[in-house]
Amino acid sequence: QIKDSATVTRDVLEQHFSDLKGTLKKLLDERLTSLLQEVDVIEQESIKPLDECQKLIEHGVSTADELLREGESAVDGDVGQQNEKLCNFTKKALHIQLDSLPEVPSLVDVPCLSAQLDDCLLTILKNQIFRHGTVASRPPVQLEEFVEKPGGILVRWCKVDDDFVAQDYRLQSRKSTASHFEDVYVGSETEFMVLHIDPNVDYQFRVCARGDGRQEWSPWSVPQTGRTSLVPHEWTTGLEGYSLSSRRNIALRNDSQSSGVLYSKAPTYFCGQTLTFRQVLFGIETVGQPDRRDSLGVCVEQRNGDDSLQRDKAVCISTNGAVFVNGKEMTNQLPAVTSGSTVTFDMEVVQLGSCSNEGGNFKLRVTISSNNREVVFDWVLDQCCGSLYFGCSFSYPGWKVLVF
């Protein structure tokens, strides 16, 4: 690990400073081009009136020289032509202003270009460059735990540097066959449920943190591999009153007049041999008009024809917060299910009597949590249940339920 991370760090440093040199050269070239263009513009704008003044002076000198030659010719001619030439010379001289010159700018008004270069830039760059980049022997956060979930992995991480005050965390993942990591979470929590995980496939994870009041991220943690063997939860397709997402883990109650209970595709919640088992989470994304028959819960079997899970062999919570066990409402009540609510079911198996083909008492200790409140009760069944279905029923459109 030390050699591999040192090799990667060298490569990263060399590539970064190579890119930095290329970028700096490009920026310097662009600045040089800009300054040279300024010189060209000032030169052209300043020399134009001087060129025009020079042309006027040269034209006046040429005209005076030509007039002088005509005067000499008139004086040197014979007597017969002399009067006529002198008359023409006099008329022409009267129309030419030889005693005026164009306005010439004073010397202080004529630009004199120079380059102003501040040597302190090198000092500033030197100080910034010498402070740029650090090499850390270990990252301030590390991955701590992977918990298998149906179609997902709950990833937990922790700080390993007590002096580091974290403001945000950034979790990335990639499939074992992928070449690049992708962001899956950025926030202040120290755990995150990564969904859309293919069962029995290795995924790599890494996490970093951003210090309080800082913009840059810390070094990445050591990548670790996680996987889940649990198949994802899916809703049953084909029920007219519900529309499903492509992965069939989100159910939307549509505006169809058809009603009924939407069950899971299979009894994918197992509560068999282990003493403690955590059931699926229902994340309510949007809500519609509530109805007293609306419910979310688990059941022993699918049963067509029911319009609610408030029946026997089922436990559920209604959208107003009432809890039903085998169709009977409990005295304890939870907060109403609203937009953004999360309802969780936790079950602990407690078996009473024998569990055989003839049946027997089978008890599940159920904890239903919603909005930081919970109720705990025992659910007694007349048969062993190695796995359970989950379901929901809504009377009006607009309810959208994510199960994972």
Of 196-200, 211-215, 315-319, where does mean pLDDT reach its minimum? 211-215
Give the confidence band of 280 by pLDDT, cuts at 50, 70, 90: very low
Q: Which residue in 222, 204, 200, 212 sits closest to 169, CA to CA?
A: 212
Both tokens of 106, joined, read 């004073």
Say whether pLDDT at 278 is over 70: no
Give the CATH number of domain 141-228: 2.60.40.10
Sheet holding 224-226, edge to edge: 182-187, 166-175, 203-211, 224-226
Q: What is the mean pLDDT of residues 126-149?
A: 86
User: What is the pLDDT confidence band of residue 279, given thresholds at 50, 70 and 90?
Assistant: very low
Beta strands in 361-399 (DSSP E): 362-370, 373-381, 387-393
Residue 105: band (very low, low, confident or very high) from pLDDT cuts 50, 70, 90? low
In this structure, of 1-5, 187-191, 303-307, 332-336, the range with the lowest mean pLDDT score is: 1-5
Q: Per-residue pLDDT tens for 345-361?
A: 888 888 765 555 444 57
Q: Quick one: tokens of 372? A: 């930081």
- DSSP alpha helices (H): ranges in 156-278? none
Which of 22-31, 55-64, 280-289, 389-398 has the weakest average pLDDT? 280-289
CATH 2.60.120.920 residue ranges for the chain: 242-403
Question: Residue 272: its pLDDT value, please?
Answer: 40
Query: What secondary structure letter does DSSP report for 89?
Result: H
pLDDT at 81: 66
d(C-alpha 249, C-alpha 235), whole Å: 6
The per-residue pLDDT for 15 is: 94
Residue 103's pLDDT band (boundaries 50, 70, 90)?
low
Lowest mean pLDDT among 72-81, 246-255, 260-269, 360-369: 72-81
Mean pLDDT for 378-383 is: 88
Per-residue CA distances from 217 to 4, 133, 221, 314 (Å): 21, 12, 11, 48
End-to-end Cα distance, the chain: 35
DSSP 72: H
Q: Which fold has domain 242-403?
A: Jelly Rolls (2.60.120)
pLDDT of residue 80: 63
Structure tokens at 142: 């590390």
**pLDDT, tens digit, 9 for 90 and up, residues 164-198:** 899 999 999 999 889 899 999 999 999 998 988 99
Q: At residue 37, what are phi and psi to the nearest 5 degrees?
A: -65, -35
Question: To which residue do tokens 């004086």 refer?
Answer: 75
| pLDDT for the residue numbered 23 | 94
CATH 2.60.40.10 residue ranges for the chain: 141-228
Q: What is the pTM of this model?
A: 0.59
